[in-house]
Chains A and B, each alone.
Chain A
Amino acid sequence: MSATRSLVAALSSDLLQPLRISDATRAEIEKSLTRYPNRRSAVMPVLWALQLEIGWLPPAALRYAASVVELPESEVFGIATFYTMFNLRPVGRHHLQVCMTLSCSLMGADRLFRHLEKKLGIGHGETTPDGRFSLRRVECLAACGGAPCLQVNFDYHENLDEAKVDRLLETLE
């Protein structure tokens, strides 16, 4: 799917569907507000709670976050765009984040990334049409002793090579 098409699809689904948030997420958001002396400080935990439920941060989620922390939507958008882990477009069920920084690069990260591109038929920042995988180059993940490494969503996988990554992909439905 091209970036434009996925964005259009994302926006229209956002317009058609009102934001539905589970009670658990609402409770998590309420709890995060108690940890700081002001509401603004909770903006990152609120965005995280929403992303963990929805998988990404559609405009409605940013609007909702802004109302919770009592900031202008533009300000929350500015914060969300600053941090690379907040997804402003939908990502696949399994978000493959391949470390490309020096230690991993010395141990074969570039080759691993090219293998994944070829195998999945997608490039950096793209998602497979079935929504199963997204692929991204990322910077140092603090797993340099297990280089090359990647994270699938939040799970670390270290000491990888092509064969190991192939076996890993098979386990990810």
Chain B
Amino acid sequence: MRGPLLFSDIDTPGLASLEGYRRGGGYATLAAVVGKKPADECIEIVKQSGLRGRGGAGFPTGLKWSFVPKNSPRARYIVCNADESEPGTFKDRELMEKNPHLLIEGMVLAGYAIGSNTGYIYLRGEFEYIQRILDRAIDETRAAGLSGANVAGSGFRFDLHTHLGAGAYICGEETALLSSLEGFRGQPRLKPPFPAVEGLYACPTLVNNVETLMNVPHILNHGAAWFRQWGTEKSPGTKILSVSGPVKRPGNYEVPLGMPLSQLIDDLCGGMRDGMKVKAVIPGGSSVPLLPASLLDTGLDFESMNAAGTFLGSGGVIVIDEGTCMVDALWNITRFYEHESCGKCTPCREGTYWMSEVLRRLEHGEGRADDLDLLADLADNILGKSFCALGDAAAMPVQGALLHFRDEFEHHVTHRSCLVNRRRDGLSVVRPCEQAHA
């Protein structure tokens, strides 16, 4: 067993087929709930469970469900955010590839709870093979009467479709995702109105992440108290953490929320590769501020991470070793946001370009005396000043790196060279930092 909940059966052969999924008890919850348990009760159970969104923001899922108006004359939609584009995150890919029916069951149940008859799964373009897996699974459920015109003989209608993106990080932002699904350029919209009130086609829309929806059948099956046996009071349940970087065993790990970060890295991942030491960890995808090695005992849950000045985010744990130059790493992160800024809001579009340019010259030994203040000023002028969180996501890593590793940045300015002697056993990575001063 790779994990207590979503990973308990993930490697079972044949799980991706309807037959295999049913063998493990799949769709029993759907049959017991749809048309039998009142929809309000389902929402209440999810609320009681304390499940929080697994896509990054950690918003209480049951509360989000309850925001969808019940008496709207308009259609209601449910959209699964399967764009998984936060750097460092690769959990939804494995979940959908190996257990597509759990997602489908979760979506039908969520659709039933909020009174929606249509669902869309928005996949990032690179996941074309997962679209084929999901389409096949959806066809199986339609043929078996588990989705479509009459779900499990209850009279409840639920049609489910997949939609393939085409390469745009911003489409992981829920309003940009909806724009994209409607056939527009994937640019975010101002909130409020929130999607729950005015989302897809200006109709009430519930947007949930893959992992969030996959928890739903388990919660409705076993109840809120059962779910709370894992995790902390404010972050119940488990979380799948995607670990990358030079650890011995990178990969996806399902752990109870609250586990110390050091336990994940040292025990589950087997520690660092030989001869390497942790310098910093980005705990929740590249959008969140990094934690220096001194804070590795921080718990992997929403509230502990906030107290340590960062976020659990999407659970993309990127481990950075001591041989890595933070200027170089930050330049890499910032280039990503520069590339992915959709261009709608000036602070983000221009700010990410200039942060990237300042980091480029620092990295190449062309830094100026006031560049660190300029970087901090640029970050400050992006943070909270754009429609969506992409700008914030670009600014926060800059602030975090300057806070914890200012000496490295200063060294680049004053000595026009790198403080980190870049010797990486076994990898012998040559990156611009070395080239610039060779």
B81 at the interface (CB under 8 A from A): no
B92, B167, B183: the one contacting A85 at CB < 8 Å is: B167
Inter-chain CA distance A16–B180, complex, in Å, is: 33
Establish whether residues A69 and B183, one from each chain, have CB atoms under 8 Å apart when the complex forms. yes
Residue of B nearest to A40 (CB): B183
Which residues does chain A contribute within 8 Å of B246, judged by CB atoms? 106-107
Which residues does chain A contribute within 8 Å of B128, judged by CB atoms? 154
B169 at the interface (CB under 8 A from A): yes
Residue of A nearest to B320 (CB): A106
Establish whether residues A40 and B320, one from each chain, have CB atoms under 8 Å apart when the complex forms. no
Which residues does chain A contribute within 8 Å of B339, judged by CB atoms? 139
- B54 nearest CB across to chain A (Å): 15
Residue of B nearest to A137 (CB): B339
Inter-chain CA distance A40–B163, complex, in Å, is: 13
Stretch at the interface among B22-30, B255-263, B427-435: B427-435
Establish whether residues A44 and B166, one from each chain, have CB atoms under 8 Å apart when the complex forms. yes
- A85 nearest CB across to chain B (Å): 4
Contact with B along A115-143 (1 / 0, CB 8 A): 00000000000000000000000111111
With contacts A101-B332, A102-B286 taken as known, whether A144 is within 8 angstroms of B161 at the C-beta atoms is no
Establish whether residues A83 and B166, one from each chain, have CB atoms under 8 Å apart when the complex forms. yes
Establish whether residues B245 and A103, one from each chain, have CB atoms under 8 Å apart when the complex forms. yes
Which residues does chain A contribute within 8 Å of B87, judged by CB atoms? 101-103, 139-140, 144
Establish whether residues B244 and A147, one from each chain, have CB atoms under 8 Å apart when the complex forms. yes
Which residues does chain B contribute within 8 Å of A18, judged by CB atoms? none
Which residues does chain B contribute within 8 Å of A35, judged by CB atoms? 161, 163
- A81 nearest CB across to chain B (Å): 9
Which residues does chain A contribute within 8 Å of B320, judged by CB atoms? 106
Contact with B along A83-112 (1 / 0, CB 8 A): 111100000000000001111011110110
- B252 nearest CB across to chain A (Å): 7
B70 at the interface (CB under 8 A from A): no
B100 at the interface (CB under 8 A from A): no
Establish whether residues A79 and B168, one from each chain, have CB atoms under 8 Å apart when the complex forms. no
Establish whether residues A105 and B183, one from each chain, have CB atoms under 8 Å apart when the complex forms. no
Establish whether residues B164 and A102, one from each chain, have CB atoms under 8 Å apart when the complex forms. no
Contact with A along B119-153 (1 / 0, CB 8 A): 00000111111000000000000000000000000
A41, A44, A101, A154: the one contacting B336 at CB < 8 Å is: A101
Inter-chain CA distance A48–B123, complex, in Å, is: 13
Establish whether residues B244 and A145, one from each chain, have CB atoms under 8 Å apart when the complex forms. yes
B89 at the interface (CB under 8 A from A): yes
In chain B, positions 153-186 with a C-beta closer than 8 Å to chain A are 161, 163-169, 180-186
B85 at the interface (CB under 8 A from A): yes
Which residues does chain B contribute within 8 Å of A78, judged by CB atoms? 185
B292 at the interface (CB under 8 A from A): no
A160 at the interface (CB under 8 A from B): no
Inter-chain CA distance A101–B431, complex, in Å, is: 13
Which residues does chain B contribute within 8 Å of A45, judged by CB atoms? 163-164
Establish whether residues A142 and B251, one from each chain, have CB atoms under 8 Å apart when the complex forms. no
Establish whether residues B85 and A140, one from each chain, have CB atoms under 8 Å apart when the complex forms. yes
Which residues does chain B contribute within 8 Å of A42, judged by CB atoms? 183
- A22 nearest CB across to chain B (Å): 18
Which residues does chain B contribute within 8 Å of A101, judged by CB atoms? 87, 286, 332, 336
B316 at the interface (CB under 8 A from A): yes
Which residues does chain B contribute within 8 Å of A110, judged by CB atoms? 429-432
Residue of A nearest to B333 (CB): A102
A25 at the interface (CB under 8 A from B): no
B318 at the interface (CB under 8 A from A): yes
In chain A, positions 134-170 with a C-beta closer than 8 Å to chain B are 138-147, 151, 154-155
Establish whether residues B126 and A154, one from each chain, have CB atoms under 8 Å apart when the complex forms. yes
Which residues does chain B contribute within 8 Å of A86, judged by CB atoms? 166-167
Which residues does chain A contribute within 8 Å of B245, judged by CB atoms? 103, 106-107, 147
Inter-chain CA distance A107–B245, complex, in Å, is: 7
B250 at the interface (CB under 8 A from A): yes
Which residues does chain B contribute within 8 Å of A107, judged by CB atoms? 244-246, 427, 429
Establish whether residues A85 and B251, one from each chain, have CB atoms under 8 Å apart when the complex forms. no
A37, A139, A141, A145: the one contacting B243 at CB < 8 Å is: A145
Contact with A along B218-241 (1 / 0, CB 8 A): 000000000000000000000000
Inter-chain CA distance A86–B165, complex, in Å, is: 10
Which residues does chain B contribute within 8 Å of A147, judged by CB atoms? 244-245, 250
B363 at the interface (CB under 8 A from A): no
A41, A48, A83: the one contacting B168 at CB < 8 Å is: A83
B88 at the interface (CB under 8 A from A): yes
Most chain-A CB neighbours within 10 Å: which of B75, B89, B332? B332
- B250 nearest CB across to chain A (Å): 4
B205 at the interface (CB under 8 A from A): no
Q: Which residues of B contact A (CB under 8 A)?
A: 75, 84-90, 92-93, 124-129, 161, 163-169, 180-186, 201, 242-246, 250-252, 282, 286, 316, 318, 320-321, 324, 329, 332-333, 336, 339-340, 342, 427-432
Going nearest first, the 8 A-B pairs with the smallest beta carbon separation are A83-B166, A144-B244, A85-B167, A84-B167, A103-B244, A40-B183, A140-B87, A82-B185
Q: Can you report 13 A-B residue pairs in the complex whose CB atoms are below 8 A from each other?
A: A38-B183, A44-B183, A69-B183, A83-B168, A83-B186, A84-B166, A107-B245, A141-B126, A142-B85, A142-B124, A144-B87, A144-B316, A145-B250
